[in-house]
Structure formats: structure tokens, C-alpha cells
Amino acid sequence: MDQVTADDFQVIDHCLMVRLPEEVDHHSAGYISRNADRHLMREEVRNIVFDFEDTRFMDSSGIGVIMGRYRKISCFGGRVYAIHADSQIQRILKVSGMSRVVEIIE
């Protein structure tokens, strides 16, 4: 299974870009959250973009990751975006109600 690396987290223009792994489950969620939070603490991050380009599977653990990050930045007016989400990932975001707080960009 592919592992998430530090290269998957980049801050560009106050925007944290997170490239998600092929499978976002409980097993990979902790690593993603910890790395994202490190950037949130150290750098001036306003918005977060989750890039689902490589992601083929996500369960509710992924919703926990997105929700947790959303809580951390929304009080400062930050927004969360999802890009490159395929139809399955979009369904997961919709069923969980996350599509109300995450802007899905086609």
C-alpha cells in the first residue's frame, strides 16, 4: 500500500494542499491528520484543499479527518475544498453531509 509522505502536504499561498493516499481508512487517517495539523500549527494556513486524485477508497475515518481539520480552520473563516473526487468519493461526501461544509470542485 502506498504511504503518505511529507511531499503530500504543501502550503501554497496560505492554502494547505493535502494529497490523499489511494485508500483513506482508519489505518491511514491518523498519519494524514497529524501531518496536516503540523502545518496548521507552524504555518499561516487559511484554507485546506484535499486532493482525491489518487484516492479510490474512503470510509468514515476519512470523514473524521476532514471534519477535524474543518473544525480547526472554520472558526478563523477558513474553507475546505475537495478536488479530483471521483463519483464514489463524492457519494461518501454527500451521504455523510460533508458536502455542506466542503466545497467540491470538479
Partner 1 sequence: MRNEMEIIFDAVSDNEAFARVAVAAFVSHLNPTLEELSDIKTAVSEAVTNSIIHGYENLYGYGRPADRKKVHPGKVQVQCVLEEDVLHIRVTDKGKGIENLEQAMEPLFTTKPELERSGMGFAFMEAFMDDLEVESSPGEGTVVIMRKKLGTGSWIDSEE
Binding site residues, partner 1, CB under 8 A: 1, 23, 25-27, 29-31, 33-34, 57-61, 63-65, 67-68, 87-88, 91-92, 94-96
Phi-psi region of 105 (alpha: psi -120 to 50; beta: other; left: phi over 0): beta
Which CB sits closer to partner 1, 14 or 26? Answer: 26
CB 13, min distance to partner 1, A = 27
Where are the extended beta strands (E) located within the chain?
9-12, 15-19, 23-24, 47-51, 57-58, 80-83, 102-105
CB 57, min distance to partner 1, A = 6
Rounded CA-CA distance 37/49 in Å is 13
CB 76, min distance to partner 1, A = 19
Which CB sits closer to partner 1, 21 or 78? Answer: 21
